[in-house]
Amino acid sequence: MKDKLSRLSEHYLAALRQHLKSGPTAGSQSATRIGRQAVALGLETLALARIHEQALTTLVLPGGSSKAREQMIKRARAFFAETIVPIEKTHRPALKADAHAHQLNQTLRQRTLESSVSARHLKQGIAQRQAVEAALKQSGKHRTKLLAESRRLQQHSRHLTHQVLSAQEDEWRKISRQLHDEIAQILLGIHVRLLTLKTAARANTGSLRKEIASTQRLVKQSVRTINQFAHEVGLHHET
Protein backbone atom coordinates (compact mmCIF):
# COMPACT_ATOMS: atom_id res chain seq x y z
CA MET A 1 0.00 0.00 0.00
CA LYS A 2 2.85 2.35 0.81
CA ASP A 3 4.46 1.73 -2.58
CA LYS A 4 1.19 2.31 -4.39
CA LEU A 5 0.67 5.56 -2.50
CA SER A 6 4.21 6.66 -3.38
CA ARG A 7 3.60 5.94 -7.07
CA LEU A 8 0.32 7.84 -6.94
CA SER A 9 2.18 10.83 -5.46
CA GLU A 10 4.69 10.70 -8.33
CA HIS A 11 1.92 10.50 -10.91
CA TYR A 12 0.11 13.38 -9.26
CA LEU A 13 3.27 15.54 -9.29
CA ALA A 14 3.91 14.80 -12.96
CA ALA A 15 0.29 15.40 -13.95
CA LEU A 16 0.10 18.67 -12.02
CA ARG A 17 3.38 19.86 -13.53
CA GLN A 18 2.07 19.13 -17.03
CA HIS A 19 -1.22 20.86 -16.20
CA LEU A 20 0.56 24.02 -15.06
CA LYS A 21 2.76 24.04 -18.17
CA SER A 22 -0.17 23.56 -20.53
CA GLY A 23 -1.76 26.86 -19.60
CA PRO A 24 -5.39 27.82 -18.90
CA THR A 25 -6.72 25.67 -21.77
CA ALA A 26 -5.41 22.41 -20.28
CA GLY A 27 -7.96 19.60 -20.05
CA SER A 28 -8.99 17.66 -16.96
CA GLN A 29 -8.46 14.09 -18.22
CA SER A 30 -5.28 13.57 -16.23
CA ALA A 31 -6.90 14.91 -13.06
CA THR A 32 -9.86 12.56 -13.47
CA ARG A 33 -7.49 9.64 -14.02
CA ILE A 34 -5.59 10.48 -10.84
CA GLY A 35 -8.88 10.70 -8.94
CA ARG A 36 -9.96 7.26 -10.14
CA GLN A 37 -6.62 5.80 -9.05
CA ALA A 38 -7.16 7.34 -5.60
CA VAL A 39 -10.62 5.74 -5.42
CA ALA A 40 -9.14 2.37 -6.38
CA LEU A 41 -6.67 2.70 -3.52
CA GLY A 42 -9.49 3.60 -1.11
CA LEU A 43 -8.16 7.12 -0.44
CA GLU A 44 -10.30 9.91 0.96
CA THR A 45 -10.28 13.59 0.00
CA LEU A 46 -8.01 14.50 2.89
CA ALA A 47 -5.33 12.00 1.85
CA LEU A 48 -5.38 13.34 -1.70
CA ALA A 49 -5.16 16.87 -0.28
CA ARG A 50 -1.90 15.92 1.43
CA ILE A 51 -0.51 14.65 -1.89
CA HIS A 52 -1.63 17.87 -3.56
CA GLU A 53 0.03 19.96 -0.85
CA GLN A 54 3.34 18.15 -1.30
CA ALA A 55 3.22 18.53 -5.08
CA LEU A 56 2.28 22.20 -4.82
CA THR A 57 5.16 22.86 -2.43
CA THR A 58 7.55 21.29 -4.94
CA LEU A 59 6.23 23.11 -8.03
CA VAL A 60 5.49 26.59 -6.69
CA LEU A 61 8.95 28.04 -6.07
CA PRO A 62 9.35 31.08 -3.82
CA GLY A 63 11.63 32.85 -6.33
CA GLY A 64 8.89 33.85 -8.78
CA SER A 65 6.62 36.87 -8.66
CA SER A 66 3.72 36.98 -6.26
CA LYS A 67 1.20 37.28 -9.08
CA ALA A 68 2.62 34.28 -10.90
CA ARG A 69 2.51 32.19 -7.74
CA GLU A 70 -1.11 33.14 -7.12
CA GLN A 71 -2.07 32.15 -10.65
CA MET A 72 -0.29 28.80 -10.33
CA ILE A 73 -1.99 28.14 -6.98
CA LYS A 74 -5.37 29.02 -8.48
CA ARG A 75 -4.89 26.67 -11.46
CA ALA A 76 -3.52 23.97 -9.16
CA ARG A 77 -6.63 24.33 -7.01
CA ALA A 78 -8.81 23.75 -10.08
CA PHE A 79 -6.75 20.65 -10.91
CA PHE A 80 -7.20 19.34 -7.37
CA ALA A 81 -10.93 19.97 -7.54
CA GLU A 82 -11.13 17.75 -10.63
CA THR A 83 -9.13 14.94 -9.00
CA ILE A 84 -11.51 14.66 -6.05
CA VAL A 85 -14.65 14.40 -8.24
CA PRO A 86 -14.44 10.55 -8.47
CA ILE A 87 -13.98 10.37 -4.69
CA GLU A 88 -16.96 12.63 -4.11
CA LYS A 89 -19.12 10.48 -6.41
CA THR A 90 -18.53 7.47 -4.18
CA HIS A 91 -19.97 9.47 -1.27
CA ARG A 92 -23.18 10.62 -2.97
CA PRO A 93 -25.48 7.79 -1.81
CA ALA A 94 -24.56 8.47 1.79
CA LEU A 95 -24.95 12.22 1.31
CA LYS A 96 -28.43 11.78 -0.20
CA ALA A 97 -29.46 9.65 2.78
CA ASP A 98 -28.88 12.51 5.18
CA ALA A 99 -29.23 16.15 4.11
CA HIS A 100 -27.53 17.36 7.23
CA ALA A 101 -24.55 15.09 6.62
CA HIS A 102 -24.40 16.40 3.05
CA GLN A 103 -24.13 19.96 4.28
CA LEU A 104 -21.40 19.06 6.75
CA ASN A 105 -19.41 17.20 4.10
CA GLN A 106 -19.73 20.15 1.74
CA THR A 107 -18.27 22.32 4.48
CA LEU A 108 -15.49 19.80 5.00
CA ARG A 109 -14.76 19.73 1.29
CA GLN A 110 -14.53 23.51 1.17
CA ARG A 111 -12.22 23.56 4.18
CA THR A 112 -10.05 20.88 2.59
CA LEU A 113 -9.72 22.83 -0.66
CA GLU A 114 -8.75 25.95 1.23
CA SER A 115 -6.22 23.99 3.25
CA SER A 116 -4.24 23.13 0.09
CA VAL A 117 -2.67 26.62 0.04
CA SER A 118 -0.47 26.01 3.07
CA ALA A 119 0.41 23.47 5.73
CA ARG A 120 -1.32 25.58 8.35
CA HIS A 121 -4.60 25.48 6.45
CA LEU A 122 -4.21 21.74 6.01
CA LYS A 123 -4.06 21.26 9.79
CA GLN A 124 -7.17 23.36 10.12
CA GLY A 125 -8.92 21.12 7.60
CA ILE A 126 -8.01 18.01 9.60
CA ALA A 127 -9.40 19.56 12.76
CA GLN A 128 -12.57 20.53 10.91
CA ARG A 129 -13.07 17.01 9.60
CA GLN A 130 -12.65 15.52 13.05
CA ALA A 131 -15.26 17.93 14.39
CA VAL A 132 -17.66 16.99 11.58
CA GLU A 133 -17.21 13.27 12.21
CA ALA A 134 -17.84 13.79 15.91
CA ALA A 135 -20.96 15.82 15.11
CA LEU A 136 -22.24 13.12 12.75
CA LYS A 137 -21.63 10.43 15.34
CA GLN A 138 -23.35 12.44 18.05
CA SER A 139 -26.25 13.23 15.69
CA GLY A 140 -26.70 9.52 14.96
CA LYS A 141 -26.76 8.68 18.66
CA HIS A 142 -29.26 11.47 19.29
CA ARG A 143 -31.61 10.25 16.53
CA THR A 144 -31.42 6.69 17.86
CA LYS A 145 -32.23 7.92 21.37
CA LEU A 146 -35.19 9.99 20.13
CA LEU A 147 -36.56 7.03 18.16
CA ALA A 148 -36.35 4.75 21.19
CA GLU A 149 -38.03 7.37 23.37
CA SER A 150 -40.80 7.84 20.78
CA ARG A 151 -41.49 4.10 20.70
CA ARG A 152 -41.54 3.94 24.50
CA LEU A 153 -44.05 6.81 24.66
CA GLN A 154 -46.27 5.16 22.04
CA GLN A 155 -46.34 1.91 23.99
CA HIS A 156 -47.07 3.80 27.21
CA SER A 157 -49.86 5.74 25.48
CA ARG A 158 -51.45 2.53 24.16
CA HIS A 159 -51.23 1.00 27.64
CA LEU A 160 -52.91 4.03 29.23
CA THR A 161 -55.62 4.06 26.56
CA HIS A 162 -56.32 0.41 27.19
CA GLN A 163 -56.53 1.02 30.94
CA VAL A 164 -58.90 3.97 30.47
CA LEU A 165 -61.18 2.02 28.12
CA SER A 166 -61.18 -0.97 30.47
CA ALA A 167 -62.05 1.29 33.40
CA GLN A 168 -64.86 2.89 31.41
CA GLU A 169 -66.21 -0.50 30.40
CA ASP A 170 -66.13 -1.71 34.01
CA GLU A 171 -67.81 1.45 35.24
CA TRP A 172 -70.51 1.19 32.60
CA ARG A 173 -71.23 -2.44 33.49
CA LYS A 174 -71.39 -1.50 37.18
CA ILE A 175 -73.80 1.35 36.53
CA SER A 176 -75.90 -0.84 34.26
CA ARG A 177 -76.13 -3.58 36.88
CA GLN A 178 -76.98 -1.06 39.60
CA LEU A 179 -79.64 0.55 37.41
CA HIS A 180 -81.10 -2.81 36.55
CA ASP A 181 -81.16 -4.00 40.17
CA GLU A 182 -82.69 -0.78 41.50
CA ILE A 183 -85.42 -0.60 38.87
CA ALA A 184 -86.15 -4.31 39.25
CA GLN A 185 -86.53 -3.86 43.02
CA ILE A 186 -88.87 -0.92 42.51
CA LEU A 187 -90.96 -2.75 39.98
CA LEU A 188 -91.03 -5.84 42.16
CA GLY A 189 -92.34 -3.73 45.04
CA ILE A 190 -95.04 -2.33 42.79
CA HIS A 191 -95.95 -5.82 41.66
CA VAL A 192 -96.24 -7.08 45.24
CA ARG A 193 -98.36 -4.06 46.15
CA LEU A 194 -100.66 -4.69 43.23
CA LEU A 195 -101.05 -8.32 44.26
CA THR A 196 -102.13 -7.11 47.68
CA LEU A 197 -104.61 -4.70 46.14
CA LYS A 198 -105.92 -7.42 43.86
CA THR A 199 -106.55 -9.70 46.82
CA ALA A 200 -108.24 -6.92 48.75
CA ALA A 201 -110.40 -5.94 45.78
CA ARG A 202 -111.97 -9.34 45.19
CA ALA A 203 -115.04 -8.20 47.05
CA ASN A 204 -115.17 -4.93 45.07
CA THR A 205 -116.23 -4.16 41.53
CA GLY A 206 -114.92 -5.99 38.51
CA SER A 207 -113.53 -2.80 36.96
CA LEU A 208 -111.06 -2.36 39.80
CA ARG A 209 -109.77 -5.88 39.28
CA LYS A 210 -109.35 -5.26 35.58
CA GLU A 211 -107.40 -2.07 36.25
CA ILE A 212 -105.09 -3.83 38.66
CA ALA A 213 -104.55 -6.71 36.22
CA SER A 214 -103.73 -4.25 33.45
CA THR A 215 -101.22 -2.48 35.70
CA GLN A 216 -99.59 -5.82 36.51
CA ARG A 217 -99.16 -6.53 32.83
CA LEU A 218 -97.51 -3.18 32.33
CA VAL A 219 -95.16 -3.85 35.21
CA LYS A 220 -94.22 -7.25 33.82
CA GLN A 221 -93.65 -5.74 30.41
CA SER A 222 -91.42 -3.06 31.99
CA VAL A 223 -89.36 -5.72 33.73
CA ARG A 224 -88.90 -7.64 30.48
CA THR A 225 -87.92 -4.45 28.64
CA ILE A 226 -85.33 -3.47 31.27
CA ASN A 227 -83.87 -6.97 31.29
CA GLN A 228 -83.58 -6.94 27.54
CA PHE A 229 -81.96 -3.49 27.56
CA ALA A 230 -79.40 -4.53 30.19
CA HIS A 231 -78.60 -7.70 28.23
CA GLU A 232 -78.07 -5.78 24.96
CA VAL A 233 -75.87 -3.18 26.65
CA GLY A 234 -73.74 -5.92 28.15
CA LEU A 235 -73.33 -7.64 24.78
CA HIS A 236 -72.50 -4.35 23.07
CA HIS A 237 -69.67 -3.52 25.46
CA GLU A 238 -68.29 -7.04 25.44
CA THR A 239 -67.80 -6.80 21.67
pLDDT for the residue numbered 90: 84
Classify residue 94: in a domain, yes or no. yes
Nearest to 40 by CA among 2, 87, 79: 87
pLDDT, tens digit (0-9, with 9 covering 90-100), for 9-47: 988 988 888 888 876 666 678 888 888 888 988 889 998
Residue 201: DSSP 8-state: G
pLDDT digits (tens, 9 = 90+) for 110-119: 765 676 666 5
Domain extent, residue 188, equals: 163-238
131 and 28 within one domain: yes
Q: Looking at the structure, tell me whether residues 27 and 104 fall in a common domain.
A: yes
pLDDT digits (tens, 9 = 90+) for 74-86: 888 988 999 999 9
The pLDDT of residue 130 is above 80 = yes
Give the domain-ending residue among 116, 144, 172. 144
Query: Average pLDDT, stretch 172-196?
Result: 73
Residues 107 and 31 in one domain: yes
Query: Which whole-number Å values give the CA distances from 204 to 153, 199, 213, 217, in the listed order?
Result: 75, 10, 14, 20
Q: Give the model's pLDDT for residue 193.
A: 65
What does pTM read for this prediction? Answer: 0.38
The pLDDT > 90 percentage for the chain reads: 10
Domain total in the chain: 2
**Please, which contacts does 121-128 make with residues 24 or more away whose CB atoms are closer than 8 Å?**
122/49, 122/50, 122/53, 125/46, 125/49, 126/46
In a domain? residue 214: yes
- Residue 154 within a domain: no
Cβ-based neighbours of 191, under 8 Å, separated by 6 or more = 216, 219, 220
- Give the per-residue pLDDT at 124: 81
Q: Does some domain include residue 151?
A: no
Q: Tell me the HSE value of 131 on the side-chain side, using a 13 A CA sphere.
A: 10
pLDDT top residue among 200 and 51: 51
* DSSP single-letter state for residue 204: S
Torsion from C-alpha of 201, 202, 205, 206, nearest 10 degrees: 110
Residue 175 lies in a domain: yes
Residue 202 clears pLDDT 60, i.e. is over it: yes
Q: Which of 96, 111, 144 is the last residue of a domain?
A: 144
Residue 171 within a domain: yes
Q: What is the pLDDT of residue 64?
A: 66
d(CA 163, CA 157): 10
The answer on 180 and 95 residing in a single domain is no
Buried/exposed 76-92: b ≥16 CB within 10 Å, e otherwise = beebbbbbbebbbeeee
Of 110, 144, 178, the one marking the end of a domain is 144
* 194 within 8 A of 215, measured Cβ to Cβ: yes
| Predicted pLDDT at 21 | 84
